[in-house]
Chains A and B, each alone.
Chain A
């Protein structure tokens, strides 16, 4: 597979979850694990451009795919516009849900470039945050959409 643009190959136990491969084998620890029932979305990454909960996918299932993690979003020019919007709008506090939330939000805007507030709220339904009450997360996503990201 390709992870953040780099080709990666490994032998793994068949049961290895994608999130554990990313974290434990590749050291890409930005992708977090917040639950064990695919409920919280902290582990959201992109597989071939689609938001996927990486705790629900076996590493072997994405052989050959292009995987993007939170570490692959920012560039030498700086933060991705969604990351910047989260910072500008105070859309994060403890930051643990944030990588997954940002990955879900960028995927959401790819599908719905100009969402309403309700569409943002529904679109992020699979990602839980305990700190922000979502107010500023929604604000950040709407701001990013408005900014043409």
Chain B
């Protein structure tokens, strides 16, 4: 039986279910020092004075260091890295792990304490007194653009960069000049807190005499972290080992190179003592990067029948106070997707990045693509209303390839979509959601004038996965490649070890990889062990983000298996005294074509390769192969989501009562895991539409930093989700896989907001800001009633 395509239960689960799994905070070492952070309580100020004397006098306190102390100690080889300098003239103020003279956002580190316990470190950090001389803060994008205050005293403007993608300006101009219909819409992508359930944490364990250091980190990117620790601290890269033990979710928030982690490493290395730190949830609101933070303007031009002629987009993006690892590049990741699944002849995108005195933004589940999908999918609903057709019809009229299957199609943003088949995917979603029945129920409620109205929202999204072809990244000035590395080795006993460069934090790599290897080598998945997340075991890798693990890392494993079989075949032919070209490999054994009875299992070949007693001339012992796969193209998953909401027009309350998702992520290795990714992704996008958003006041202070008032949804707020899939294999890799980690989030915010606006369309309400809180909805309804005298 084929393992690929089977909904196998996850091998990771028993250790996670029993508490046996070790997250960073679970690992204790003798002699460790707890680091406590003194963080800025204001958004923009000069540091007038820091009094550490009370903290230093406390029991159990080992040391207190201010930013100035640390600078004097010469701990830093370079500032914290930004790997994506999107334009040559991009402003990039130096970002060191601690502020020295001036703080630029709430939560920036101004001093650290080291103490002998968790509690004492926290107490001592509290006892440090910082005297700030406050400067005018830039508390939001509007203020950044207005420029009355500047976020960094060292800069003359808040403007960080301008990035254009306008392949044919004349064609774009002509499209709008010739349009029968145009739609212009502005949307705000509010800032979001990623809120992985495991807060970030780090434990740095030095070997003072050996000179090496081991860093246990709750990270998505152990390999990138290793390089960046070397760059930031000046410790030799070859002396650094990074281990990501069990990691409790990431969603992008754990792919950064963070000040607190660098402090732990640098201090542990300097002091020769283990140093640890675990973030508190409320601390994280200021100290871990946030997602989104964009103002979007999208214009569509269409002919009389609603067929798109052009799409013009401008983004103002909130960088926050500093450029972190890929801060400036996040809007670019979305730039290519503003024409969605549609055939748009002319396209133009521009983005301006701006500094504010807020926590930096960076990747959060979807990173640029949920924003793009939201803008085009909301705008398509507005165009449907303008043209006077349904939201399903406007989409059908504009699908790439006319909704028929296509391969390797160049779209207006210059990318080549690997494969798509949008028409049947939409059909299936509408059928599964009972779209006609929902519309009938909506009509009934409207006719009856019921206070609780029904809204139905569609989103037909496409996204970019499989990050990334290294040359494409080079073309975008990204500072690294996009390949992934894998090793497959057969052990003398016939078991298999796989070394994966891509690292999991909940995605179930061990299960999925074992399924690929089992099929490729014709063995039992239980005979496959997957090793990962430790740079001493897996020295090469580019880690996990951008839904890349399967489409790049999984493919590398598959290709390494092919190489193992190729070598085994040569050995098998020698052992069987057959011609290698006459051998076939089926069900884990080699045989001469036509005579399957005389076969040699691959395990026997592995043993022969190990003993090396009787190998062909020129063949090295052992069965181990490695592959570094650099994908020739991205992968473009797509799907249709249908959200159903009830909107109480008397209270403003919105309840998500139904959700249907039909996703197409190409070939599926483990449908159980695919579905799980879809479920979780959807709820994260729904949360942006309905509940989540960071609230800053005019001084740049976060008003909702804890989980008491930052509304991560519970089970009680969301419904069960109806899922199905279509399968359109990718042409970008031999497995035909695309990726599914972010798809749910990319489809769901737009679907939910389209549903809410659909419910309120009789009131003349075309758009609402996210999150659509009861107060927002109630005010919109009341305002509409005041101006129109009620629902039409």
Contact = CB atoms under 8 A, between A and B. Distances in A.
B32 to A, nearest CB: 11
Given A37-B706, A133-B679, A98 B16 contact: yes
Contacts of B19: 28-31, 69-71, 99
Contact of B708 (A39, A71, A127): A39
Contact of A95 (B21, B676, B715): B21
Interface residue range, chain A: 35 or more
B716 A86 contact: no
A88 B17 CA distance: 12
Interface residue range, chain B: 35 or more
Given A69-B19, A71-B18, A97-B197, A90 B10 contact: yes
A35 interface: yes
A85 B597 CA distance: 43
B707 interface: yes
Contact of B506 (A37, A86, A131, A136): A131
A87 B198 CA distance: 20
- Per DSSP, chain A at the interface is loop
B290 to A, nearest CB: 15
Interface string A65-105: 00001110110000100010011101011111111001000
A20 B26 CA distance: 11
Contact of B198 (A29, A30, A94, A138): A94
Interface string B706-741: 111000101110101100000000000000000000
A87 B673 CA distance: 12
Interface stretch (B247-255, B256-264, B627-635): B247-255
A117 interface: yes
Contact of B20 (A30, A31, A96): A30
A90 B12 CA distance: 11
A98 B17 contact: yes
Contact of B281 (A36, A124, A139): A36
A94 B10 contact: no
Contacts of B246: 94-96
Interface string B499-534: 000000111100000000000000000000000000
Contact of A34 (B9, B247, B281, B720): B281
A1 interface: no
B196 A94 contact: yes
A73 B18 contact: yes
Given A71-B18, A95-B21, A135-B720, A40 B715 contact: no
Which residue of A30, A34, A42, A95 has the most chain B CB atoms within 10 A of its CB atom? A95
A56 B118 CA distance: 17
Contact of B16 (A20, A36, A92): A92
Contacts of A33: 25, 199, 278
A22 to B, nearest CB: 10
Given A92-B16, A93-B506, A122-B716, A136 B676 contact: yes
Contacts of B679: 132-136
A123 to B, nearest CB: 8
Contacts of A138: 715, 720
Nearest to A141: B715
B677 to A, nearest CB: 8
B683 interface: yes
Contacts of A73: 18
A95 B683 CA distance: 17
A143 interface: no
Contacts of B196: 94, 96, 130
A13 interface: yes
Contacts of B715: 120-122, 124-125, 127, 129, 134, 137-138
Which residue of A24, A71, A90, A97 has the most chain B CB atoms within 10 A of its CB atom? A90
Interface string A23-63: 11001111111111101101000000000000000000000
B23 A32 contact: yes
B682 interface: yes
Contact of B197 (A34, A87, A90): A34
A121 B672 CA distance: 21
Contacts of A93: 249, 506-508, 676-677, 680
Interface of A: 13, 15, 20, 23-24, 27-37, 39-40, 42, 69-71, 73-74, 79, 83, 86-88, 90, 92-99, 102, 117, 120-122, 124-139
25 contacts: A29-B23, A31-B19, A32-B197, A33-B199, A33-B278, A34-B198, A34-B248, A35-B282, A36-B281, A37-B282, A40-B281, A70-B17, A90-B9, A90-B10, A94-B505, A94-B506, A95-B16, A95-B17, A96-B23, A96-B248, A98-B17, A127-B714, A130-B195, A131-B676, A136-B679
Interface of B: 9-10, 12-14, 16-23, 25-26, 28, 118-119, 195-199, 246-249, 251, 278, 280-282, 505-508, 672-673, 675-677, 679-684, 706-708, 712, 714-716, 718, 720-721, 744
Given A98-B17, A133-B679, 9 more contacts: A23-B26, A24-B28, A95-B21, A96-B197, A97-B197, A117-B720, A124-B715, A128-B197, A129-B197
